[in-house]
Amino acid sequence: MTRARAALVLISVLGAVGCAHREWPRGSATATVFGPDPRLDAWTTSVIEGIHVHSARPEEPCTAASLQEVTSAISVAAGEKRDDLKDAFKDMGRSMGTLMEALMVQTGGPAHGGPDRTVLALRRPAGEESIIVDLPRLKADEKERTFKAGDFKAVYERPALTAEARVARGWVRAVRVDSGGMEYDLFLVLKPVRPGAYESLLVVTRVEWPPR
């Protein structure tokens, strides 16, 4: 197989993966929000581990990262027969992944999470506001761990892709339950990005994953 044909195969595979649609699981949680307008609201929740997401769709892994995993698998398979094709697929996959990631940032907003990270996302059903928490992933031998501000990042976006407030104080407690699932207790104090908008936003909730 020539490099040109390898490129065509890679483009075809990436196109098929990119066009595929998958519904990622979502849960729900009730969050108490203290701020300019105290309220008790229902939010949809999602948890993504080990791969980054973008603000516009925090409940789904980034397409660019997923495609890079595909190209890596293709390069390994191709390399079993020809070393030159292995390198060709790696180079093309890296270039296409970089380009697609740049496009994703432009259309989907900043990235959150990645290898060894966990992203918790809470979104209002109408999608007009979201809370995205990016914290270290619990290690395999860890039963529970409490992360304090500075260990994790959190942003409140309203509307989507517009950061209104970022975490200043608080904590996230991650607990691995007997069923193998996770529970995340959140106590977040977020400060507005725009000075003088309001003093702070306090968010208290629990996210259970997978949804029960």
| Of residues 166, 171, 175, 165, the one with CA closest to residue 186 | 171
> Mean pLDDT for the chain?
84
**pLDDT tens, position by position, 147-182:** 999 999 999 999 989 999 999 999 999 999 999 899
Which is more confident, 95 or 129? 129
**Can you give the pTM of this predicted structure?**
0.80
List residues bridging with 174 in a β-sheet.
145, 184
CB of 172 closer than 8 Å to CB of 133:
yes
**pLDDT tens, position by position, 12-65:** 554 555 544 456 789 999 999 999 989 999 999 999 999 999 999 999 998 777
93-114 mean pLDDT: 80
Which is more confident, 105 or 82? 105
> Is residue 76 within a helix (H) or strand (E), and if so which, with residue range?
helix 63-79
pLDDT recorded at residue 81 = 63
Q: CB under 8 Å, gap of 24 or more: what pairs does 193-200 form?
A: 193/163, 193/164, 193/165, 193/166, 194/164, 197/164, 198/35, 198/36, 200/35, 200/165, 200/168
Out of 9-18, 71-80, 96-105, which region has the weakest mean confidence (pLDDT)? 9-18
191-200 mean pLDDT: 94
Half-sphere exposure in the Cβ direction for 89 (13 Å, CA): 28
Q: How confident is the model at residue 66 (pLDDT cuts 50, 70, 90)?
A: low
pLDDT recorded at residue 75 = 57
Whether 10 shows a pLDDT value over 60: the answer reads no
